Amino acid sequence: MSDTPTLHPIAGDRATEVFVSHRELLFSVVYNMLGSVSDTEDVLQETWFAWTRRSSRPAAGDIGNPRAYLIRIAVNQALARQARINRRRETYVGPWLPEPLATGAPEAAAAEWPRAAETVDAAEPALRNESVSMAMLVVLETLTPLERAVFVLHEVFGYPHTEIAAILERSPAAVRQLAHRAREHVQARRPRHQADRRLQRQVTERFIAAALGGDLAGLMSLLAPDVTLWTDGGGKANAALRPVSGQEQVARMITGYAARRLPAPLDIRYRHVNGDPSVVVFADGSPTAVMVVDLDAGNDKVTDIYLVTNPDKLSGVGPRDGDTADAEGAADAEGAGRGRLSSG
């Protein structure tokens, strides 16, 4: 994804400088509202057009707070885009999952997953890491568009209700009511205490080793009795047409997928996706699947598995410059089954 508009404005144009300086914030807000990288980029392009039109007017100097103005444009463009996304969902094949987004490793997790930390581009803006987890994005899909906008702005980015009211052109009382409903809804579906990132990484690695080795018993030992597997192929890649639940059913499906559907040679790279330690499967240098496991913080068992194989949703986890495989990991993977592993 580019960090500059795709147009070719006049060099040094003040409007362009202002937009670019706020682009990462705009991207993070809109992505958390929509859960789609491609739709977020479209919204940012529309925001850029609206911003440049406004900036070119004689009264443009009366924009006292460009940041607030850009946020308002982007949020309202995202709300308008949501209707189009909902129409696409009506004909979507199988479960719909958010579009994965590679993020820099959080500092605490990076200390525990040092190779992943080494590959993070030091210049990557910190705001991109504001993307909430895959599991949280799935929960946010159950909110109304307005509830989600309020939740993202207030809970993720810390905007006060009065500022959100101005952005959405609603009264502060209405915004507080939306925030209350959204928070109650989310808390009923997500535990307040999340699993430790270090533990999540360890379980993810054990999960992959058991799946590649065909270790059904080992895999089942990691799963909660009511675990659910969500697979999103969008009708363009192999995936279940509905969520699969239950310890044995999920374990058998995962080992079968690893044995029959993964490319050979296998190239698995550990990355942080939406802030979580995750697995990205590559074939011929391109991503073919992303898997994120969600843990119960109380008993460390896997409660949900999110597997995205729709090729249209994998642009946000593509290879980085200098991305290389880990030779030591390759030997480990071949010992477990086939292929190679790498961190990065």
d(CA 106, CA 109): 5
- The pLDDT tens digits for 14-50 are 888 899 999 999 999 999 999 999 999 999 999 999 9
The residue-averaged pLDDT of 298-319 equals 91
Q: What percentage of the chain reaches a pLDDT higher than 90?
A: 58
Least confident of 193-207, 231-245, 295-309: 193-207
The residue-averaged pLDDT of 242-260 equals 92
- Predicted confidence at residue 249, as pLDDT, reads 95
Of the candidates 289, 280, 291, the residue with the CA atom closest to the CA atom of residue 323: 280
- Predicted confidence at residue 58, as pLDDT, reads 63
Q: Is the pLDDT of residue 185 over 70?
A: yes
Q: What percentage of the chain reaches a pLDDT higher than 70?
A: 79
The residue-averaged pLDDT of 62-82 equals 91
Our measurement of the distance from residue 188's CA atom to the centroid of its chain's CA atoms, rounded to an integer in Å, reads 21
Q: What is the chain's alpha carbon radius of gyration, rounded to the nearest angstrom?
A: 21
Q: Which residues pair with 281 in a beta bridge?
A: 268, 289
The residue-averaged pLDDT of 305-329 equals 71
> 59: pLDDT confidence band, cut at 50, 70 and 90?
low
Q: Is the pLDDT of residue 263 over 50?
A: yes
Question: What one-letter code names the amino acid at 181?
Answer: R
- Predicted confidence at residue 105, as pLDDT, reads 55
> 125: pLDDT confidence band, cut at 50, 70 and 90?
very low
Three-state DSSP at 308 gives strand
- Predicted confidence at residue 282, as pLDDT, reads 92
For residue 154, what is the DSSP state?
A: I
Q: Is the pLDDT of residue 124 over 60?
A: no
> Contacts for 120-127 with beta carbons within 8 Å, 24 or more apart?
120/272, 121/320, 125/3, 125/24, 127/24, 127/25, 127/27, 127/28
Q: Is the pLDDT of residue 193 over 50?
A: yes
CB 275 within 8 A of CB 106: yes
Q: What share of the chain is helix, strand, coil (3-state, %, to 5)?
A: 55, 15, 35
Residue recorded with tokens 């009708």:
235
The residue-averaged pLDDT of 254-281 equals 87
- Predicted confidence at residue 328, as pLDDT, reads 34
CB 22 within 8 A of CB 45: no
- Predicted confidence at residue 194, as pLDDT, reads 72
CA distances from 300 to 145, 188, 204, 216, 223 (A): 32, 19, 11, 18, 9
- Predicted confidence at residue 62, as pLDDT, reads 61
CB 266 within 8 A of CB 339: yes
d(CA 315, CA 36): 10
Q: Is the pLDDT of residue 172 over 90?
A: yes
Q: Is the pLDDT of residue 116 over 60?
A: no
Q: Is the pLDDT of residue 266 over 90?
A: no
The residue-averaged pLDDT of 194-220 equals 90
Our measurement of the distance from residue 243's CA atom to the centroid of its chain's CA atoms, rounded to an integer in Å, reads 19
Q: Which tokens is 151 given?
A: 């939740």
If one counts every other C-beta atom within 10 angstroms of the C-beta of residue 239, the result is 24
Q: Which tokens is 275 given?
A: 């802030």
Q: Which residues pair with 223 in a beta bridge?
A: 302
The residue-averaged pLDDT of 193-197 equals 76
d(CA 294, CA 310): 20
d(CA 130, CA 113): 19
